[in-house]
């Protein structure tokens, strides 16, 4: 029985690290900066390893007029800037807005548009757009993904919607169809790359980078996958053109599921994605897919809701220096 005087969150409401909880934790720039300081340098907020003294020292924070505050070693006077090297470092956007953007991007299932970000943050569209791309390209890009076991590979095409002032192209396959190659481990992670065209070389490139030899690769009957067997992979095809979609274990339903998420995301959230930004968009969708599950169960530890886990993952990543 629910009790109106003591409301509990329904079991069905997934995620929800609520906006209230976020605001409590990160009310202002100061809270965000302290979070960075503790996360990068000082667990207790007071002691940290001083690289100049080469030992643990007490650090003190002196409030100055600087935009980006620092902590100072009380023994040698070295200043440590918690934002150094991170995505926040050279940005003129306040830390609080950056954190809020990370919250907004992870608190919805399908993501939000730069337009929504602009409205929520009260920044210009250009700023919102730039923040979005930094987040996608620096925090959500995951290069080291390796797939093994049962892997599905497929290509798909995304149509770039024509703008009003663009001429109508040739009939048939339009130049605005952009090819995307993807590979997914069943019940595992996905990689998706925007490619000039889906061909054998791109298949080889993707498998070399991301698929362990000895994996079993499932594809459709397209000729671009013909050499997989010669390269040491197990390979089974499903003959889509003959109307066959599942043949025992041979199917590509996992990667098709990812494509449909991607495409409905493009239709629903974004007006049009230009080729220049397509990869960053793929990064975001792959990242969401790859972190769709709860964190691993640990004995005696209550699992974090999915939404909150995603937010914390992204914030943790944001506290690391970027290349």
Residue from the set 32, 73, 105, 217 that interacts with Zn ion by CB under 5 A = 73
Q: How far apart are CA 139 and CA 136, in angstroms?
A: 6
CB of 73 to Zn ion, least distance (A): 3
Grouping H, G, I as helix, E, B as strand and the rest as coil, residue 223 is helix
Size of the residue set binding Zn ion (CB under 5 A)? 8
Measured from the CB atom, the residue of 72 and 133 that comes closer to Zn ion is 72
CB 307 to Zn ion: min, Å? 40
- Per CB under 5 A, contacts with Zn ion among 77-116 are 78
Determine whether 171 is exposed, middle or buried from the number of CB atoms within 10 Å of its CB (0-12, 13-18, 19+): exposed
Instruction: Kindly tell me which of 77 and 243 has the beta carbon lying closer to Zn ion.
Output: 77
Distance CA 174, CA 104 (A): 35
Q: How many Cα atoms are found within 13 Å in the side-chain-facing hemisphere of 41?
A: 28
In contact, 63 and 70? CB cutoff 8 Å:
no
CA dist 148 → 184, 185, 186, 221, 230 (Å): 9, 6, 9, 21, 17
3-state secondary structure of 253: helix
75 touches Zn ion by CB under 5 A: yes
Q: How far is the CB of 75 from Zn ion (least distance, A)?
A: 5
For Zn ion, give the closer residue by CB, 75 or 201: 75
Of 50 and 105, nearer to Zn ion (C-beta) is 50
C-alpha to C-alpha distance for 87 and 178, rounded to whole angstroms: 30
Question: How far apart are alpha carbons 179 and 175 in whole angstroms?
Answer: 10
Q: Where in 35-54 is the site for Zn ion (CB under 5 A)?
A: 50, 52-53
Q: Which of 13, 24, 28, 76 binds Zn ion (CB under 5 A)?
A: 76
Applying CB under 5 A, which part among 23-31, 75-83, 92-100, 210-218 lies near Zn ion? 75-83
User: Strands of 79-80's sheet, edge to edge?
Assistant: 47-50, 55-61, 71-73, 79-80
Binding-residue pattern over the window 1 to 40 for Zn ion, x denoting contact by CB under 5 A: ----------------------------------------
Q: Which is nearer to Zn ion, 78 or 236 (CB)?
A: 78
**Contact footprint for Zn ion (CB under 5 A):** 50, 52-53, 57, 73, 75-76, 78
């Amino acid at each position: 029985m629910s009790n109106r005087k003591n409301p509990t969150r329904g079991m069905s409401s997934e995620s929800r690290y609520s906006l209230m909880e976020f605001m409590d934790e990160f009310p202002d720039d100061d809270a965000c900066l302290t979070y960075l300081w503790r996360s990068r340098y000082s667990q207790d907020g007071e002691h940290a390893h001083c690289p100049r003294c080469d030992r643990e020292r007490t650090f003190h924070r002196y409030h100055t007029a600087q935009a980006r505050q620092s902590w100072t070693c009380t023994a040698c006077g070295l200043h440590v800037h918690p934002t150094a090297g991170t995505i926040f470092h050279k940005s003129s956007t306040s830390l609080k807005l950056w954190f809020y953007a990370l919250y907004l991007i992870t608190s919805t299932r399908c993501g939000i548009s730069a337009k929504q970000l602009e409205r929520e943050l009260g920044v210009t569209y250009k700023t919102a757009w730039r923040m979005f791309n930094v987040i996608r390209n620096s925090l959500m890009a995951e290069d080291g993904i390796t797939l093994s076991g049962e892997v599905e590979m497929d290509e798909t095409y995304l149509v770039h919607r024509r703008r009003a002032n663009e001429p109508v192209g040739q009939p048939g396959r339009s130049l605005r169809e952009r090819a995307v190659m993807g590979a997914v481990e069943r019940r595992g992670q996905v990689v998706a790359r925007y490619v000039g065209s889906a061909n054998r070389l791109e298949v080889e490139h993707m498998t070399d980078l991301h698929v362990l030899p000895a994996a079993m690769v499932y594809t459709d009957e397209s000729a671009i996958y013909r050499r997989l067997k010669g390269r040491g992979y197990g390979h089974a095809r499903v003959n889509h053109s003959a109307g066959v979609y599942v043949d025992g274990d041979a199917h590509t339903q996992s990667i098709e599921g990812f494509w449909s998420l991607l495409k409905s995301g493009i239709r629903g959230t974004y007006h049009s994605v230009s080729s220049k930004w397509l990869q960053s968009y793929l990064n975001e969708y792959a990242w969401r897919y790859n972190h769709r599950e709860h964190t691993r169960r640990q004995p005696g530890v209550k699992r974090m809701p999915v939404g909150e886990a995603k937010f914390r993952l992204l914030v943790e990543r944001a506290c690391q220096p970027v290349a």
